[in-house]
Every structure is written in structure tokens, then in C-alpha cells.
Amino acid sequence: MDSKKDMIALVTGGAGGIGSETAMTLAREGARVIIADLYEKVEETAEILSRKSGGKITGLRVDVSDFDSCTKLRGEVEKVVGERRMDIIVNNAGITRDALLTKMDFATWDKVIRVDLYSAFNVTKNFVEWMIERKFGRIVSLSSISWKGNVGQVNYSSAKAGIVGFTGSLSRELARYGITVNAIAPGLIDTDILKSIPDKIMQGIIEKIPMRRLGKPEEVASLISFLTSRDTSYITGEVVSINGGFNF
Ligand SMILES: NC(=O)c1ccc[n+]([C@@H]2O[C@H](COP(=O)([O-])OP(=O)(O)OC[C@H]3O[C@@H](n4cnc5c(N)ncnc54)[C@H](O)[C@@H]3O)[C@@H](O)[C@H]2O)c1
């Protein structure tokens, strides 16, 4: 695996499970990492992650579901980094608000689509020009095993299927600039996002996973590290699964 020395990386949702591990992995490999998160203590979280990883991680507060908030983020990143440069974007921030369609109100639908899908547009649109100018970039967006459909997740599945379409289209648009665009589709990964699933249901799910366990955030971070390497320059437009053999 190549080093990420001198690379600038933006990880949205970097105060959470997968995002924090990804930020630390990229930082250990030498990247200058910005975590962008709605969490009010994102700056303190970045300091902790910097200490743990021995790398350089800065926290900036943003609501990725809001376009103007992402434009403001671009200005803040420029100040922190000292130049208009972005090598790696990890569109990772996401939420779930599960309910059967019959019980789902409009606000619940709307919220998840905004955070899980609009975010990819809002963030990528604001930073992609910097990648195009330098003729290099690595964009990885978090889809999910649920993109193909899952009971109680019409909002989340629609957003995560949207990420697959976004990735396919954008990979074709940006290939000529040396920018790769990929999505990953994790199965169940042990983070706070799973907290709303009752223990009994979770045990039933784990029994169906061939590896009989949840994935670890660091296992997802390794995949993101691979897809954002300088070496992986010919992989684009892919949706890579990481699920312990579990498929719906
Ligand atoms: N954990 C899993 O089982 C799993 C499986 C498939 C896909 N994913 C996806 O992986 C990504 C990361 O999930 P996780 O498991 O680490 O979840 P998590 O809840 O641990 O972390 C999500 C982070 O996103 C941040 N966030 C939420 N809304 C935001 C907003 N509007 N603006 C900025 N930041 C916001 C949260 O503050 C949090 O720090 C998500 O996109 C999720 O859908 C997770």
C-alpha cells in the first residue's frame, strides 16, 4: 500500500464510528485529514483522534445536508490547509430513521434523503473543482447493503441506491481528470448507527452472517484506504461490498 504523504483528505461524519477510524487510518498513512461533522464537539474529537493516531486531524462543524453549510466548509478548509487542494473525499456522514412506509411521515423520509444522499452532492460539488484543477482525486461514498432494499428502510435504501447512481455517473464524468469515484456497501458494522436495533433482532441477524459477527469500523477504514490510494488509479465506478459474506 502506498503512503498518503502530502495528501489532503476530507472525511464527513468523521466524529462517528466508520468516519473516525477512516480519519485515523488515513492520518497514520500520512494524510492531512479534516473531519467534518454536525457533532458539536467535533474539534475535541479531532484532537483525540490526532493523539490516538499520531497524525494530523482537524475538526470542522458542518451540516452536510445543507448546501450553504458545505460551501462555508470549503472556505474553512482552505484556511486550515493553506491552499485550494483536496485529494480525497470520503462521503461518509449518514443516519437511519427506520419505519415501515405505512408509518413513515414525510419529515422522516425527507431527513434521511437529505443527510444520506443530498450530502454527496453538497460536499462533492463544493470541492471537486480543486481536484479537477490538479488532475487527481479519490472520492469514496458510503452506500450500504440496504441499497437493494430492506424492510423498514424505504428512505435509507432510496438514499443509498442514489449513492450508487451518483457514483456511476460521476465516475464517468471525472475519469478524464484522473479522479476515481467509488462507493462501498457495508453490511452490519459495529457502530452507534446500529443502536436502534433491539438486541434480540440483532442476534437473529448475526446468526445469518456467514462470519457470525459484525464488521469492525477499522475493516471498513482499510477498504477506504485502499480505494483512496495513489496506486488504485484504475478502479472507478465500482460498488465494493464489505459484509462478512452476508447478502440480503
Ligand atoms: N454501521 C453500519 O452498519 C453501516 C452499514 C452500512 C452503511 N453505513 C454507512 O456508513 C456511514 C457511517 O456510519 P457509522 O456507522 O459510522 O455511523 P455513526 O452514527 O457512528 O456516525 C455517523 C456520523 O455522521 C454524523 N452526521 C450525521 N448527520 C450529519 C450531518 N447532517 N452533517 C454532518 N455530519 C452528520 C454524526 O454526527 C456521526 O458522527 C453512514 O453513511 C452509514 O449509512 C453504516
| 10 bridge partner residues | 34, 89
Tell me if 211 is assigned to some domain: no
Q: Cell 462478512 maps to which residue?
A: 244
Spatial separation of the C-alpha atoms in residues 193 and 98, rounded to whole Å: 11
Given this model, what pLDDT does residue 248 score?
Answer: 75
Q: For the residues of 154-193, what is the DSSP string, one character each?
A: HHHHHHHHHHHHHHHHHHHHHGGGTEEEEEEEE--BSSGG
Spatial separation of the C-alpha atoms in residues 246 and 223, rounded to whole Å: 17
Q: What is the domain extent for residue 57?
A: 8-190+217-241
Active site residue 118: no
| Residue having the nearest C-alpha atom to atom 8 of ligand 1 | 144
Residue 215 beta carbon below 6 angstroms from any ligand 1 atom: no
Tell me if 197 is assigned to some domain: no
Given this model, what pLDDT does residue 247 score?
Answer: 85
| Orientation of helix 67-81 relative to helix 119-134, angle to 10° | 40
Look at strands 179-186 and 239-242 and give their pairing: parallel
| Orientation of helix 106-113 relative to helix 154-174, angle to 10° | 30
Mapping DSSP to helix (H, G, I), strand (E, B) and coil, where does residue 77 land?
helix
Tell me if 199 is assigned to some domain: no
Q: Which atom of ligand 1 is nearest to the CA of 145?
A: 6
Residue 49 beta carbon below 6 angstroms from any ligand 1 atom: no
Tell me if 114 is assigned to some domain: yes
Q: Which atom of ligand 1 is nearest to the CA of 39?
A: 37
CA distances from 81 to 73, 78, 103 (A): 12, 5, 46
| Residue having the nearest C-alpha atom to atom 38 of ligand 1 | 16
Tell me if 165 is assigned to some domain: yes
- Cell numbers describing residue 162: 442514489
Tell me if 208 is assigned to some domain: no
Q: Which residues of the chain have pLDDT under 50?
A: 1
pLDDT (tens digit, 9 = 90+) per residue, 157-203?
A: 999 999 999 999 999 999 999 999 999 999 999 999 998 889 999 99
Contacts by residues 165-171 (CB-CB < 8 Å, ≥ 24 positions apart): 166/117, 166/120, 166/121, 166/141, 167/141, 167/143, 167/237, 167/238, 167/239, 168/237, 170/124, 170/139, 171/236, 171/237
Give me the helices (H) in the chain, please. 17-28, 42-53, 67-81, 106-113, 119-134, 154-174, 199-208, 217-227
Number of structural domains (the chain) is: 1
| Residue having the nearest C-alpha atom to atom 41 of ligand 1 | 94
Tell me if 17 is assigned to some domain: yes
Mapping DSSP to helix (H, G, I), strand (E, B) and coil, where does residue 140 land?
strand
Spatial separation of the C-alpha atoms in residues 110 and 180, rounded to whole Å: 29
Q: CATH number for the domain including 123? A: 3.40.50.720
Tell me if 41 is assigned to some domain: yes
Residue 231 beta carbon below 6 angstroms from any ligand 1 atom: no
Residues 6+ apart with CB under 8 A from 224: 22, 25, 26, 90, 140, 184
